Structure 1
């Protein structure tokens, strides 16, 4: 983040064009020997530099070394940050395994939080340190450099659980410039394993995408192994009077104990002593639904469902020889319910002659109705009383409509071709010449 300089007596000209000082806050949450949740905050301030991935990875390595010195019992680290570009990038994923080897703290996972849901502890400690710096300024001091920020925070007893160091970044040590990892923004959880990394879109959901160490080496052009930290400490961390803070849930009061909150989900029997527990229960959705009383109608529906599940559907399959065999529903082939593709059917000569006769009859008199023609095909009989068309030769009205349309288009095309005759142009020229001669004779 950026911190704008503060002065006890500030001119109007000093207020414009200010350049903020970079400071990076890292909160370490852990359990002590008494199994109490504690936290320590490590703040790095520097006068200038880029807020890029190299600065972040250098600060993380410096924090790991400090944690290893102050809390040697810790061996594993679970990282969490927001989705800023300096955190959510492939360079971090390539360099973190080597940082783990150099510092002795094994990074297990790296999770990225949702918007407005990942910096609560950092923001709270920032508020404490900003209040301490404003108090320092009101006492007649100025904060214009990174050293002034450290002096203000460490003044008197310091801020509970907060340590500040003044550092600078040596960008000459940056070796990794680019990588070939794809779809970085699609993954929000990175699990570091001995043989590679596992990427997931959401925390602990799905099998994920695995990338082996060999693939990581190729993606980083083989340089991430030699990437060193560029963080140089100008003024180291100073332990405050209270070097660690405690994290504890507020104890419910007697009024809260007397009040019982019930889950509003129908059928859920859970009750909670405080409203916060009820909200957590609703957010997780782990309801304990129990049936108080079952009606007769519910019992009938359950019996009907059981009978329906026991029904075995059989159907007949006609073979090429014409015989039928029964098969159970479970033996059907995949795709039996899909809509089959339409196959083109050619009309035989008898059907074509009949349709052409009906079309010509409609041209001479009233146009034939396809629905009526379809009905005639099904009922028409010859002199001996036999049906002229079999069941396989019957046509639907839309088929007859399409056939009539094709005949009509052919008729129009023939007329057009008859007009486009070479002799026609000669006749037209002769007519034009006669008209011209008549006009000359009349004049």
Structure 2
């Protein structure tokens, strides 16, 4: 019994915290000054590469692209809430605190350039490990100084609450990308994602950029914050930092800035690498405040009162009606309802059922005659098709041995292709930015020399599966420490030809099985 009561108490406290945070967020938006801005941050679910014509072999083994959404909410000159959304797209990135700090600093730099009036910012995110960490809190003071925009507060939302702004913009951009693929486009890298989101008129209020995290600039690797998991709200000031365990409860615990600096070293500029800069937007998006949430107990009473009022209205309409049922007003619809409210729902949804009120003997005769005529027509057409197929077989005799498999000539690829693939693999091993087989196959098709001529001819192009198999062989040799210069030189035509011939045989075998 005590366990059940404790669970009920925990649920009530969770509901009250959520209500307090929602009310605080709405009060913040209502009382937002022209020089203030609220930034809601969230990592979107990774986007898998999408092709307009995708084979089953292209679907498996895919690696998703990470993208981070920052919704900046502010008030315009007319006092109306507007938003501008900054989307950062990445190829391969570790979703840690330094990535969040790099993105946040880049967003504030762009806000400072595009909206010089903004001087204060409020942050909001969920409790993911990349956000809820003392490493990020240590870097916030330096970000404020470098961007000249003071981060005044950082609030963390409850689970499944407070990120509706990010979720809505993510849904809009995902829909845009699905439309782009359905219309014949392919999304195989973050640049294609950016082109898909910006296709047509783009997404209202959204700016998109392709970026890379400069991990060489990371300087903070540990901190001495205590009780990080119990902190849900932070207020940053010039001389101190105030922390709370729950939003709007108590005065919080003050930590002098001198002690905060002793907890870890300072983080200098993150220097996020932007490969494709943000686009210009035509218009900013509008933000509509949700209705204020009522007390849970009162809301349950209101639901019961509304249900009781609906039942009373139905009974009144039933008593006032001359008949005991309500018929649909749509001509030809045979639906009938006992309550007027259900009839209204039926009319609003428009799910009408059309049936003949009565069917005469003459109608039955016509329907049966129509079925007989259709049956005769189908049998005649089938007979004509059989006759045509027999005539074709007699005219064109099939040669014996037509189903025997023909031998396929092994194509030897040039040394330039092998050297180019080995160069791409070596770059991925040394820098950590590995190139996917699909990107490598695309580079072989599009690479040009210093004079602008194509480096490879069409007969030298490789499939994605061929590049993947060759990369896997190089990775195996690298793990066994056998990928020395001598091994690289000995990767001759016979090695590559053996791999490619086995792949081609498997593909031919799969095509034969699929056709049969």
Same fold, judged at TM 0.5 (above): yes
- For residues 304-343 of structure 1, what are the structure 2 equivalents within 5 Å? none
SS in 1 for 2:66: strand
Query: How many residues matched?
Result: 255
Quote the offset at 1:230 in angstroms. 3.7
Q: Does 1:282 align with 2:290?
A: no
SS in 1 for 2:210: strand
Quote the offset at 1:183 in angstroms. 0.8
Cα RMSD (Å): 1.8
Instruction: Please list the CA deviations of residues 394-441 of structure 1 after superposition, one character each: whole Å capped at 9, or x if unmatched.
Output: xxxxxxxxxxxxxxxxxxxxxxxxxxxxxxxxxxxxxxxxxxxxxxxx
TM-score, normalising length: structure 1: 0.56
- For residues 385-424 of structure 1, what are the structure 2 equivalents within 5 Å? none
Q: Which runs of 5+ in 1 are unaligned?
A: 251-275, 286-443
SS in 2 for 1:21: coil
Instruction: Give distance in 2, aligned partners of 1:162 and 1:231.
Output: 19
Match of 1:150 among 194, 204, 207: 194
- For residues 170-319 of structure 1, what are the structure 2 equivalents within 5 Å? 170-220=214-264, 223-224=265-266, 226-242=267-283, 244-248=284-288, 280-282=293-295
Cα separation, partners in 2 of 1:27 and 1:284, compared to 1, 3 Å: farther
Contact 1:90-1:181 at 8 Å conserved across structures:
yes
Instruction: Give distance in 2, aligned partners of 1:283 and 1:200.
Output: 25
Instruction: Please list the CA deviations of residues 263-293 of structure 1 after superposition, one character each: whole Å capped at 9, or x if unmatched.
Output: xxxxxxxxxxxxx56xx343598xxxxxxxx
Contact 1:82-1:115 at 8 Å conserved across structures:
yes
Contact 1:154-1:240 at 8 Å conserved across structures:
no
Instruction: Give distance in 2, aligned partners of 1:89 and 1:95.
Output: 11
Instruction: Give distance in 2, aligned partners of 1:77 and 1:98.
Output: 14
Contact 1:158-1:241 at 8 Å conserved across structures:
no
Cα separation, partners in 2 of 1:56 and 1:284, compared to 1, 3 Å: farther
Q: Does 1:61 align with 2:102?
A: no
Quote the offset at 1:249 in angstroms. 5.3
Instruction: Give distance in 1, aligned partners of 2:231 and 2:297.
Output: 23
Instruction: Give distance in 2, aligned partners of 1:89 and 1:176.
Output: 12
Q: Does 1:103 align with 2:144?
A: no
Instruction: Give distance in 2, aligned partners of 1:178 and 1:49.
Output: 20
Q: Does 1:74 align with 2:118?
A: yes
Q: Which runs of 5+ in 2 are unaligned?
A: 1-43, 299-516
Instruction: Please list the CA deviations of residues 329-361 of structure 1 after superposition, one character each: whole Å capped at 9, or x if unmatched.
Output: xxxxxxxxxxxxxxxxxxxxxxxxxxxxxxxxx
Instruction: Give distance in 2, aligned partners of 1:231 and 1:213.
Output: 27
Match of 2:185 among 141, 148, 159: 141
